[in-house]
Amino acid sequence: MNDLLNIEDIQVQFHVWNRIYQAVDGVSFTIPRRKSVALVGESGCGKTVTALSIMRLLPRPQAHIKQGKIYFDNQDLLKMSLPRYQKYYRGRLIGMMFQDPHSVLNPVISIQTQITEHVKYHLKMKTSEILDKANNIFQLVNLPAGEDILKKYPHQLSGGQIQRLMIAMTLMTDPSLIIADEPTTALDVTIQRQILDLLVALKSERDLSYLLITHNLAIVHYLVDIVCIMYAGQIVEWGPCEAIFQEPLHPYTRGLLDSVLTISKETKTKIRGIPGMVPEACDFPSGCRFHPRCPEKMNICSKEMPMLSENKEHAVRCWLYG
Amino acid sequence: MAEKTILSLHDISKIFPLRLAFWQKLLGVTPRGITALDKVSFSVPEGSIVGVIGESGCGKTTLAKVLTRLENADSGEVYYKHEDRNLLALTSSEFQKFRRRIQMIFQNPYGALNPRLSTFQTLKEPLEIYKKGTGIEEQAIHILNMVGLTADYLHRYPHEMSGGQRQRVNIARALTVDPEILIADEPVSALDVSTQINILNLLKEIQQKNNIALLLITHDLGIAKYICDRIIVMYLGEVVEWSDKDTFFKKPLHPYSEMLIESVPRFEDKNSGKAGALPKKIKPDKGCLFAPRCPYVISACREKRPPLKDGFPKVRFIRHL
Ligand SMILES: Nc1ncnc2c1ncn2[C@@H]1O[C@H](COP(=O)(O)OP(=O)(O)OP(=O)(O)O)[C@@H](O)[C@H]1O
Ligand SMILES: Nc1ncnc2c1ncn2[C@@H]1O[C@H](COP(=O)(O)OP(=O)(O)OP(=O)(O)O)[C@@H](O)[C@H]1O
Ligand SMILES: [Mg+2]
Ligand SMILES: [Mg+2]
């Protein structure tokens, strides 16, 4: 095994109100070294929960990992002691940009203090060195260097500034894997483009890998090599970026691609999107979980759940292909 | 313009002061500030969808907050329909009667919901005040269904939902009270493409059915093109272009608009979109604010700030030959 990250058959459950929600149900994928992977799927399909299980940040006591293994650099992350994990992995070798930056930033502590404390916990660096480095990285992500940002508090920054700050903080500890949960949603196109170019450049310069969680299919293209499409807690299709975009197999993937709004698209007609709702994680339909919304439903689809095909290049979980 | 307007803004300005350190005060340093809004004027026609686009930090959220009185403007006036009183000058009890009519969906779905309230509690309060009486729970479920959530989410707390689910609760809350104008700050940027389309279709449907106006703040030009009638482009706190959708996408007038349209990533094409390098100092002291990044810049641009042209579409740009 020479993969950077290896996730094997992870299942995560939430216990709420005596009900069991199967948020992630048997997800497996690997991130080869120097490659990047995207998790794409509809709201609530389990992307963030998958990321949080790698970070060991699932909310306790409601959530628990029922089964599965996560290897990072051949180390079993779930078996490791928490202090060791916190010091050497979370926030150090594995950086995470959260979907909700405000949940990690303390509102009453200045940005400068938060950055220096974060770095000092993981690395032996002097405050002055840290600030120099921070200023360099700020320049990379197009934040004004110096006191303009450092002396401020989180609520004084705009949505996009906070997001760039999160990227900068993640880069401070030279991680080898960055988990980015919707890293550019709050950014306008010009800045988004700059951030993407930056992330791409860092990838080759620093041997970085990304686990990108996003719903923006346009940015997936720039940044990753492999795409995993998730639906209702499962991976329904995965393959190299080009294959997914050029010959999507699963009807769900095709529905997603058709829902993308671009400025080159004619907008006189109404775009329909995928009809219906994402099923509840405590009450999945029988058979294929997508069948109630599927335009190509067959008899078998409501009876038996299809397996992910064993194709090594481009796999799909659908009865149309097997 | 002959059409009826629901909201008209005149010269709204807002400067966030930078706090000075003690020694700076002693030395008598004059306080600089961040100009978040610089004489912003435009109007929103009744029943129309107006998109506000512009770079991160250009003042879009501040504008929305000023309009809903969450932030005070330094100067400027806002008029609602035919009311002849400036909304910004009303006392907060006088403003109360506009609260229901002007609703806001916040950019950050996390901060906007009270973590101690379940979805039902969040929706219940406005329903009780404005919808009176019966079947509060059915109404709440009905609204949840509209935004693509099942009744199961009625009793969840914000931390028990995914990012997109929270944002939809947020949208549901704004819809409970039948607003006349909805100010939506990046309402769908936290949502996946297919939910996004459904919510946009929903907003458009409600807008057409109830004839409400929508001020949509977004950085996604695809969304703006799909749903907006008018486009306002902001740059460093000022309006640089105000146009209708078709003209804007066919022939953008301001060089910044051109740049925006060019940098959109397209998923069909990996190499589409290009990022212009940013100059060291973004905001010039005088002249056109966009001059440091403008491909057409000439020396006159660095001297005088171009005015927003009269007529329609409006643009703050002088094309020198
Ligand atoms: N603390 C919790 N208690 C109960 N259910 C939860 C909790 N956190 C998440 N869930 C459920 O787990 C499922 C997966 O959530 P997750 O946050 O992974 O979604 P996501 O794919 O990241 O979606 P989004 O794109 O909207 O962020 C959702 O149905 C959500 O309601
Ligand atoms: N409370 C505050 N104190 C000081 N400065 C502030 C405050 N709120 C906003 N600012 C500054 O005002 C400017 C405009 O912020 P605003 O939040 O309106 O931007 P925005 O256009 O909404 O950007 P984004 O697309 O990133 O959300 C930014 O430079 C920001 O740093
Ligand atoms: Mg998420
Ligand atoms: Mg904003």
Which of A221, A284, A304 minimizes the C-alpha distance to A257? A221
Check residue B1 and give its pLDDT. Answer: 47
How close B88 gets to chain A, by Cα (Å)? 22
How close B284 gets to chain A, by Cα (Å)? 15
Q: Mind listing the pLDDT tens digit for each residue in A295-307?
A: 999 999 999 999 9
Rounded Cα gap, residues B45 and B286, in angstroms = 33
Mean pLDDT is lowest, of A62-71, A266-275, B81-90, B145-154, for A266-275
Q: How far is the CA of B187 from the centre of ligand 2 (A)?
A: 17
Check which CATH number belongs to the domain holding A45 and give it.
Answer: 3.40.50.300
Q: Mind listing the pLDDT tens digit for each residue in B111-128?
A: 778 888 899 998 888 888
Q: Mind listing the pLDDT tens digit for each residue in A17-58?
A: 788 889 999 999 999 988 999 999 888 889 999 999 999 989
Rounded Cα gap, residues B27 and B39, in angstroms = 31
Greater pLDDT, B233 or B309: B233
Check residue A105 and give its pLDDT. Answer: 85
Which of B165, B207, B201, B164 minimizes the C-alpha distance to B182? B207
- What is the sign, positive or negative, of the torsion defined by CA atoms of B1, B5, B11, B17? negative
DSSP conformational letter for B34 = E
Mean pLDDT of chain B: 82
Rounded Cα gap, residues A54 and A65, in angstroms = 11
Check residue B62 and give its pLDDT. Answer: 92
> Tokens at residue B244, please?
């209708």
The answer to whether position A187 is within a domain reads yes
Rounded Cα gap, residues B53 and B222, in angstroms = 11
H/E element, B50: strand B49-54
> If you average pLDDT over each of A265-269, B266-270, B274-278, which comes out highest?
A265-269
> Tokens at residue A93, please?
């070798």
Q: Whose CA is nearest to atom 1 of ligand 1?
A: B160
Place of tokens 């951030």: A195
The answer to whether position A193 is within a domain reads yes
The answer to whether position A114 is within a domain reads no
> Tokens at residue B261, please?
């349209």
Q: Mind listing the pLDDT tens digit for each residue in B134-144?
A: 788 888 898 88
DSSP conformational letter for A215 = S
Atom of ligand 2 nearest to the CA of A162: 26
With a 6 A CB cut-off, is A157 part of the ligand 2 pocket? yes
Mean pLDDT, residues A183-208 taken together: 78
Among the bound ligands, name the one nearest to the CA of residue B52: 2
Which of B8, B123, B157 minimizes the C-alpha distance to B76? B8
Give the list of residues 6+ apart from residue B37 with CB closer than 8 angstroms, or none: B12, B13, B14, B59, B62, B63, B66, B73, B76, B237, B238
| Length of chain A (residues) | 322
Q: Whose CA is nearest to atom 29 of ligand 2?
A: B57
Mean pLDDT, residues B20-40 taken together: 72
Greater pLDDT, B313 or B288: B288
The answer to whether position A101 is within a domain reads no
Nearest CA in chain A to B259: A190
Please check the confidence at residue B213 and state whether its pLDDT lies above 90: yes
Check residue B162 and give its pLDDT. Answer: 80
The answer to whether position A259 is within a domain reads yes
Beta bridge partners of A95: A178
Rounded Cα gap, residues A204 and A206, in angstroms = 6
The answer to whether position A274 is within a domain reads yes
The answer to whether position A111 is within a domain reads no
Atom of ligand 2 nearest to the CA of A155: 1
Asked if B131 and B139 count as a contact pair (C-beta separation under 8 A), the reply is yes
Nearest CA in chain A to B205: A270
| Domain span holding position A276 | 3-93+173-321
Check residue A179 and give its pLDDT. Answer: 93
B264 touches chain A (CB under 8 A): yes
Please check the confidence at residue A159 and state whether its pLDDT lies above 80: no
Please check the confidence at residue A218 and state whether its pLDDT lies above 60: yes
Give the list of residues 6+ apart from residue A251 with CB closer than 8 angstroms, or none: A290, A294, A295, A296, A318, A320
3-42 of B, contacting A, C-beta below 8 A? 16
Per-residue pLDDT band at B251 (split at 50, 70, 90): confident
Check residue B321 and give its pLDDT. Answer: 38
The answer to whether position A25 is within a domain reads yes
> At B308, is the secondary structure helix, strand, or coil?
coil
Q: How many domains does chain A have?
A: 1
Peptide bond before B313: cis, by omega within 30 degrees of 0? yes
Asked if B183 and B103 count as a contact pair (C-beta separation under 8 A), the reply is yes
Please check the confidence at residue B49 and state whether its pLDDT lies above 90: yes
